[in-house]
Amino acid sequence: MARKTKEDAIATRNILLDSAEQIFFDKGYSQTTLMDVATHAGMTRGAIYWHFKNKMELFEAMIERVHLPLESLVEACADENEPDPLGKFREFSIEFLQQIASDRRIQQVFSVMMHKFEYNGQVTQLEEKQLLSFQEVTSRIERTFNNAIKRGQLPVNLDIKKAAFAKHAFFSGIMNNWLFHPQTYDLAKNAESLVDSYFFMLSNSPHLRLADIN
């Protein structure tokens, strides 16, 4: 009976998160109320409070449901014992773009984060967590590049910080533009060539080199 109750609670939580994804996508963060989510889920607002303290916690849980699997892949790339860090990172990057192209949940959550959440200083705790997440991902990327340099996969004079910044700009731009207008091009079909364009830049661009490493 206890197991059944736990399974029911998990199922209810997932229904609420599914509804939150749809409502945040339709209305944006600031315009969404917990009553909107409850109504969409066919539940009372009390059901939401059983699982989430407030709208911010519900929003965070929605993001984490997508981020956690992706973060584990990024962490695997940053492992200093990974024998092929650059290959692993390339594989992850292609898979990530292909997932965006095919997974509606990932599409909706990233659309909400990029287009439907207002970074206006009114939800500082949530904005600070997003900044921390950005910094953690950046750190993992830099560790991946360091490992790749040690294994001879990237130039020893690669400007790691600039390369990580360029990675954010490159992939965030692809995601932002495609999510805004998916009909522009076939992201899944072009994922590999787009990723390889960035990796070619990593290995060959003189603008991603340290001025003097001596």
- In angstroms, the first-to-last Cα distance of the chain is 68
Work out the pLDDT band at 117, boundaries 50, 70, 90. confident
CA dihedral 114, 115, 121, 125 (to 10 degrees): -50
1-52: what fold? Arc Repressor Mutant, subunit A (1.10.10)
Buried b (16+ CB within 10 A) or exposed e, 163-184: bbebbeebbeebbeebbeeeee
Contact in structure between 28 and 119 (CB atoms under 8 Å): no
Is pLDDT of 82 > 50? yes
The two tokens of residue 29 are: 């963060």
> Please, where in the chain does CATH 1.10.357.10 lie?
56-208
SS3 122: coil
Could you read off the pLDDT of 5-17 as tens digits, one per residue? 888 888 999 999 9
Looking at residue 30, its amino acid is: S
pLDDT confidence of residue 212 = 67
24-40 average pLDDT score? 94
> Please, where in the chain does CATH 1.10.10.60 lie?
1-52
DSSP 116: I
Contact in structure between 168 and 138 (CB atoms under 8 Å): yes
SS3 154: coil
* pTM for the model: 0.83
Buried b (16+ CB within 10 A) or exposed e, 30-44: eebebebbbebbebe
Is pLDDT of 94 > 70? yes
CA gap 110, 63 in Å, rounded: 8
pLDDT confidence of residue 13 = 93
CATH superfamily of 56-208: Tetracycline Repressor, domain 2 (1.10.357.10)
Rounded-to-5 percentages of helix, strand, coil across the chain: 80, 0, 20
CA gap 23, 70 in Å, rounded: 23
pLDDT confidence of residue 213 = 54
Q: Which residues on adjacent β-strands are paired with residue 158?
A: 209
